[in-house]
Amino acid sequence: MSARSFGQRLTAAVAAHGRLCVGIDPHPALLAQWELTDDADGLEAFAMTCVEALAGHVAVVKPQSAFFERHGSAGIAVLERVLAAFDGGPTVTILDAKRGDIGSTMDGYADAYLGVKAPLGADAITLSPYLGFGSLLPALDTAADAGRGVFVLARTSNPDGVAVQLAEFGGRGTAQSIVDDAAARNAGIEPLGDVGVVVGATRDHGLDLSALNGPVLAPGLGAQGARPADVAEYFADVNGLVLPSASRSVLKAGPDMATLRAAAEALRDELVALG
């Protein structure tokens, strides 16, 4: 890993390549659309086309671990190669794995994804805090020591999340408490803290993000219905960086590498134009 912090690397990547995050989601339907086999060979062809198309052209990519894991050990090996291909380059990686557990199990996840020599190390990983934000401390500390980052689920776009994420205690909703805990970890760090949050871009989230001092991963752009203008409206108060994320709406432009790159660059530039 670079000696620079995750916040420093992310800030530099966004300054150079805009705010767009492109998901690398080798969904079976997309493999079929690209006329690839639904096996490790098709997975590798899909993933490496994405690497070639996106590296150095967008700030952030987000491989979805589940679509690699479904192919077993061969799929995990492809994921390792994808992360290695981006490592040290101008495009930052967020591994979307949504891990969360307690005690020694959380330590194990931290070693796998966030340690200095983590075998599945990305620049950052998504985490689930619903065993308590404190349960994430092994991951947060390991990430900080290795110069990596994390994105903690706060307000997701799925309707079933409402009952948990908007439940109130002590005058605060659960999602807001997660944002506040992330902000406490990021306080005083320049240019940006290493603890981000995940907040869906498909609706007004109702959160106060003004003290976060960290990045917001905002999935839902494109196929899920969010527009660039929605992102500008819903995240106007963010103290940090907003990373709108799109997957299918960009990936459907494949399998031609140049066409895929052009689709990503067009959406990237639309977001840049909105400021």
pLDDT tens-digit series, residues 173-197: 999 999 999 999 999 999 999 999 9
What is the predicted pLDDT for the residue at 46? Answer: 98
Residue 187 placed within a domain = yes
pLDDT mean across residues, the chain: 93
* 62 counts as catalytic: no
Residue 2 in this model has a pLDDT that exceeds 70: no
- Return the pLDDT at 1: 55
CATH classification at residue 61: 3.20.20.70
Is the residue at 113 inside a domain?
Answer: yes
Band (pLDDT 50/70/90 cuts) for residue 26 is very high
Report the pLDDT value the prediction gives residue 192, as an integer from 0 to 100. Answer: 95
pLDDT of residue 21: 98
Q: What is the pLDDT of residues 121-146, one digit of tens each?
A: 999 999 999 999 999 999 999 999 99
* Domain-located, residue 10: yes
What pLDDT score does 157 carry?
81
Q: Residue 60: its pLDDT value, please?
A: 98
Is the link from the previous residue into 191 a cis peptide, with omega within 30 of 0? yes
Domain that holds residue 104: 6-274
**Structure confidence at residue 170 (pLDDT):** 80
Please check whether residue 115 lies inside any domain of the structure.
yes
Separation between Cα atoms, residue 43 and residue 103, nearest integer Å: 34
Q: What confidence score (pLDDT) does residue 263 get? A: 97
Which residue in 62, 98, 117, 252 is the catalytic one? Answer: 98
Is the pLDDT assigned to residue 223 strictly greater than 80? no
Is pLDDT above 90 for 22? yes
What is the reported pTM? 0.95
Q: Is 1 contained in some domain?
A: no
HEC letters along the chain: CCCCCHHHHHHHHHHHHCCCEEEECCCHHHHHHCCCCCCHHHHHHHHHHHHHHHCCCCCEEEEEHHHHHCCHHHHHHHHHHHHHHHCCCCCEEEEEEEECCCHHHHHHHHHHHCCCCCCCCCCEEEECCCCCHHHHHHHHHHHHHHCCEEEEEEECCCHHHHHHHCCEECCEEHHHHHHHHHHHHHCCCCCCCCEEEEECCCCCCCCCCCCCCCCEEEEEECCCCECHHHHHHHCCCCCCCEEEEECHHHHCCCCCHHHHHHHHHHHHHHHHHHC
Give the total number of structural domains in the chain. 1
Residue 255 lies in a domain: yes
Whole-number pLDDT of residue 5: 94
